[in-house]
Amino acid sequence: MTELFQATGGFSSANFIGSSSFGSVYRGITNQDETIVAVKVLNLQNPRAFKSFTAECEALRHIRHRNLIKILTSCSSLDSKGKDFNALVYEFIPNGSLDDWLYLPTEENNHSRSLGLLQRLNIAIDVASTLDYLHYHCYATIVHCDLKPSNILLDNDMIAHVSDFGLAKLLLEPDNNSSQAQTSTIGINGSVGYVAPEYNMGGKATIQGDVFSYGILLLEMFTGKRPTDQMFIDDFNRHNFAKASLPIHMMQILDPTLLPNEENSEESEEDATNRIEGPSHQTDKLQD
């Protein structure tokens, strides 16, 4: 723990990167070779944090892929007050998350800090390649269970790296007395808007759940709208929004930053929504 404390400047706010319910992440520099690392310190006040720590260690211990975040080491110790301390040390990915790039503040959203169509396609392919590896080419099938833009990090070459395996499940091979694979743990609490609907009803982790989240991710990348956007209410969701716009009004639901300036300025987002008949009419139309 002492080394991590020194590497992060005492887990100072200057080195703070981000946080979740499971813990906080800090930028650090190791003394040995001055390697820049990301240190995830678990919030052990959350009763699920240690389970997350165990799941992430297990999931990342034996897997290697160019589009996966690399875990360098882990730490289980006591802090200066004698309390339990758990942390994971990862390679540092310098360009932040996909979420950062999709939702930059207006004053920062210039040509040097925006994602073009080709870049988004390449990121989508990187993530798909990762899921294919985890689901079909790993030592055991691994289901991520929490795929979303904030868990996709971009390096200096804008190559995507899937991170945060705190909810990951290992699907064990079925035994002779079972017709279905079993998960190594139970209970799934993914992020609202991204988690497969069957998980909310007690369903077990499946690769199909990751594929659902990937579909939500694709829609978000190319429409620029989160699944929790205020326009998506009741039965009107982003899937219906996209489906109702095809094939005639497809260009009107694209993220405005992907459109040429002259086309982008022709009509507002509200006009575009109205032209595909609005939320109440779209769901009626889909049910006819």
Spatial CB neighbours of 78, under 8 Å, sequence gap ≥ 6 = 1, 84, 85
Ramachandran angles phi, psi of 177, nearest 5°: -100, 10
The catalytic site residues sit at 146
What is the per-residue pLDDT for 27? 94
Same domain, 117 and 193: yes
Are 56 and 88 in contact, with CB atoms under 8 Å apart?
yes
Same domain, 82 and 176: no
Same domain, 260 and 144: no
Any idea which of 28-42, 141-155, 192-206 has the lowest mean pLDDT? 192-206
Q: How many domains does the chain have?
A: 3
Answer with the residue of higher pLDDT: 238 or 193. 193
Same domain, 212 and 104: yes
What is the per-residue pLDDT for 186? 40
Same domain, 153 and 220: yes
Helices of type H across the chain: 2-7, 49-60, 98-102, 117-136, 207-223, 238-245, 261-264, 269-275, 278-287
Same domain, 220 and 233: no
Enter the tokens of residue 235: 């039965």
Spatial distance between the Cα atoms of 283 and 194, rounded to a whole number of angstroms: 21
Mean per-residue pLDDT, 81-101: 89
The identity of residue 57, as a single letter, is C
Q: Which structural domain, as residue segments, surrounds residue 246?
A: 229-288
Give the domain-ending residue among 91, 112, 144: 91
**CB-count exposure of residue 30 (10 Å: 0-12, 13-18, 19+):** middle
Enter the tokens of residue 110: 């210039």
Answer with the residue of higher pLDDT: 131 or 257. 131
What is the per-residue pLDDT for 172? 53
Spatial CB neighbours of 269, under 8 Å, sequence gap ≥ 6 = 256
143 closest CA partner among 151, 152, 131, 153: 131
53-80 tens-digit pLDDT: 777 777 777 788 999 998 888 888 887 7
Give the domain-ending residue among 68, 91, 114: 91
Strand partners, 42: 23
Same domain, 269 and 150: no
Helix (H, G, I), strand (E, B) or coil at 76: strand
Same domain, 250 and 200: no
- Rounded to a whole number of angstroms, the CA Rg of the chain reads 21
CATH number at residue 75: 3.30.200.20
Are 149 and 97 in contact, with CB atoms under 8 Å apart?
yes
Same domain, 71 and 46: yes
Which element (helix H / strand E) includes 154? strand 152-154
Answer with the residue of higher pLDDT: 143 or 19. 143
Are 28 and 8 in contact, with CB atoms under 8 Å apart?
yes
Any idea which of 151-160, 165-174, 250-259 has the lowest mean pLDDT? 165-174
Spatial distance between the Cα atoms of 160 and 180, rounded to a whole number of angstroms: 32
The identity of residue 224, as a single letter, is G
Prior bond to 247 cis, omega within 30?
A: yes
Same domain, 151 and 250: no
Same domain, 133 and 218: yes
Helix (H, G, I), strand (E, B) or coil at 85: strand
Per the listing, tokens 């990167």 go with 17
Same domain, 108 and 161: yes
Give the domain-ending residue among 91, 114, 130: 91
Enter the tokens of residue 282: 């779209």
